[in-house]
Amino acid sequence: MTSSVERSLVITGADVLIDGQVEKGVTIVVEDGLIVSLSGRVGPGVEGPGEAEVADPATAMPPNQTVIDGSGLLAMPGLINSHTHAAMTLLRGVAEDVGVDSWFNDFVWPIETNVTPDDVRLGTELACAEMIQGGITSFADHYFHEANAALAVADSGLRANLGCTFFTSDDTNDLQTSIEFAQEWHGAEGGRITTSLAPHAPYTCSDDELKAAASAARQLGIKVHLHAAEHREQTESSLQRRGVTPIAVLEDTGVLDAGAIIGHGCGILDRDLPILASYSDRVGIAHCPKVYLKHGLDRLTPIRELRDCGVAVGLGTDGPAGCNSIDGFEAMRLTAMTQKHLERDATWLTMADVLEMAGPLSAATIGVNAGAIKVGAKADIILVDLGGLHCQPLHDPLAALIYSIRASDVRTTIVDGRPLMVDRQLLTIDIAELTKRVKGRGPQLASTTHNSPQRRYEL
C-alpha cells in the first residue's frame, strides 16, 4: 500500500478560485503532492515564487514534470464529500417512493444481507469513478467490509476517510472489526487514506459500545463517524425513551470529546448547540440535503445556528441508495436554495458561503488538509469548463458554479498532485470493464424475500 504522486506538476493558464474570488491567469506549481507556488496572480498577495521563476514552465520542464494547460478552464479545490456510503451505488434505485422507516426495514437492510465483500469493492469502485468524474476528490465513507472499500480507494487515487460500520446487534459487524480496520489502514497510501471508527448511530449501538469506540478513537488519534439526530422524530423519540437528545448521548459517552463526524443532524435542537459548541474544534456535521428532501423529512440541518456557534458544517451526499447520485455540485445547489427558502431570506448563505462548505468546512469536518488552493495545501484540484451554453453569458463565475454547472463540466481531476482524469478520460479506472461487472452483479442484489436483518430502524 504505497502512494504514487507526480513528483512535479504545473497547471498553466487557468483562472483559479482562491478564497472565494476568481484570479486570472494563475500558474499552480505542485511538488510531491503539495501546492508550492501560485504565481501570476492579478492584484496583491502573490504566493510562492514570483512570475519570473515559473513564467514559462513548458520551456524549462524537467523530465519528471507534468504540465497541464488550464487555458479556458477554472481551477478550483476538489469537492469534499463529508458523508456517504460509497458501495451503495449497487443499490441505486432499489427503494423509491417509500417512507424512511420502510426504506430501511422493508428494502435496504434486508437487501444488504446479500452484499458480499466483493460487492463492496465493486460498488466503491463505481462510486470512485463517479466522484472522479464529478470533481469530488475526498470523501468520508461509512460501510461494511471496509477493507474491500479501501482497496478500491487505493486503486482509484482518491483521498478518503474510511470507517467500518458496526451495530451492537450484529456479531459480524462489531466494534473490534472496526478497530482492526482502522489500525490497519490509517495513513495508508502515503496518508491518502485515513480512518475513523464507525458505530452506526446512538439508537443502534449501546452506550457501552459508544464509550468503548470513543476510548479507542482517542487512543488511535482518529475520529468517530456516525449518524445522530438524523431528523426531528428521532430526537423526540430519544427524549421520550431516555430523557436526553442523541447529541447529549454523544457527549455522555465521550464521542464528542474524541472528535466526531456526525451525519445529518437535522434533529439538532437549540439545547444541543452549547454542547456542540464546546467541541467545535473536533466535531463537524455533514449536511446531505438531497436525501432529506427525497425522504420528506420535516426539517433540515440547522446550518445558520451551527455556524453561529462555530461548529463546522460540511456537505455530503449520503449513500446513493437514498440520494441516487454522488454529485457534490448538486449538494451545493440544493443547500443554497433550500437554506434561502427555509430562512425566507435570499441574502442568507451566499455563494461564497456554500463554496466554503464544500471545501474548507468539509475538510475540517472530516479532518483533511485540503479544500483550498493555497501554498502548503494538498494538491487536490479540479478544472471545470464554464463555457457550456447552460453557463452563458458568464456574468458571475461563482453563480455558474452554484446554480448552473453540471458534474459533467469537470474536465480534469487531480488528487495529491496526480491526475486521475484528464479531458474527461479516467486514468485509474477502466470504465467499460467496470460497467460490465456492475451490470452483471446488480440484479442479483435486489431480492428481499429470504432476508431477515439483525437490526430494525425505529424512530
The answer to whether residues 2 and 189 touch, using CB atoms and an 8 Å cutoff, is: yes
The answer to whether residues 451 and 38 touch, using CB atoms and an 8 Å cutoff, is: no
Q: How far apart are CA 174 and CA 64, in angstroms?
A: 46
Please state, rounded to an integer, the average pLDDT across all residues of the chain.
91
CATH number for the domain spanning 250: value is 3.20.20.140
Domain region containing 16: 8-77+372-432
Last residue of a domain, one of 338, 366, 394: 366
Lowest mean pLDDT among 44-48, 132-136, 398-402: 44-48
Domain contains 86: yes
CATH number for the domain spanning 44: value is 2.30.40.10
Domain contains 89: yes
Which residues are CB-neighbours of 115 under 8 A, at least 6 positions away?
87, 90, 123, 144, 145, 445
Single-letter amino acid, residue 179: I
pLDDT of residue 171: 76
Based on the fold, state whether residues 65 and 211 are members of the same structural domain.
Answer: no
pLDDT interval class at 458 (50, 70, 90): low
pLDDT interval class at 63 (50, 70, 90): low
pLDDT for 450 beyond 90: no
Based on the fold, state whether residues 384 and 400 are members of the same structural domain.
Answer: yes
Q: How far apart are CA 235 and CA 241, in angstroms?
A: 10
Three cell numbers written together for 392: 452563458
pLDDT for 47 beyond 60: no
Nearest to residue 91, comparing CAs of 327, 433, 328, 319? 319
pTM of the model: 0.93
pLDDT (tens digit per residue) in 284-311: 999 999 999 999 987 899 999 999 999 9
Domain contains 185: yes
Burial of 151 per CB tally in 10 Å (0-12, 13-18, 19+): middle
Based on the fold, state whether residues 392 and 362 are members of the same structural domain.
Answer: no
Based on the fold, state whether residues 69 and 91 are members of the same structural domain.
Answer: no
Which residues in 433-446 are b (16+ Cβ under 10 Å) and which e? ebeeebeeebeebe
Domain contains 2: no
Share of the chain above pLDDT 70, in %: 91
Cα–Cα–Cα angle for 146, 315, 107, rounded to 5 degrees: 55
Based on the fold, state whether residues 301 and 404 are members of the same structural domain.
Answer: no
Domain contains 440: no
pLDDT for 51 beyond 60: no
Average pLDDT of the segment spanning 230-249: 96
Domain contains 273: yes
Based on the fold, state whether residues 387 and 277 are members of the same structural domain.
Answer: no
Domain contains 1: no
Based on the fold, state whether residues 310 and 391 are members of the same structural domain.
Answer: no
Q: How far apart are CA 36 and CA 50, in angstroms?
A: 12
Based on the fold, state whether residues 334 and 301 are members of the same structural domain.
Answer: yes
pLDDT for 31 beyond 60: yes
Based on the fold, state whether residues 142 and 230 are members of the same structural domain.
Answer: yes
Last residue of a domain, one of 349, 366, 383: 366
Single-letter amino acid, residue 232: R
Based on the fold, state whether residues 354 and 208 are members of the same structural domain.
Answer: yes
Based on the fold, state whether residues 120 and 263 are members of the same structural domain.
Answer: yes
Domain contains 162: yes
pLDDT of residue 298: 78
For the chain, how many structural domains are there in total?
2
pLDDT of residue 41: 52
Single-letter amino acid, residue 327: D
pLDDT of residue 444: 78
Last residue of a domain, one of 313, 341, 366: 366
Which residues are CB-neighbours of 26 under 8 A, at least 6 positions away?
14, 15, 16, 18, 38, 39, 40, 41, 75
pLDDT for 361 beyond 80: yes
DSSP sequence for 343-395: HT-TTSS-HHHHHHIIIIIHHHHHT-S-SS-STTSB--EEEE---SGGG-S-S
Based on the fold, state whether residues 193 and 139 are members of the same structural domain.
Answer: yes
pLDDT of residue 169: 78
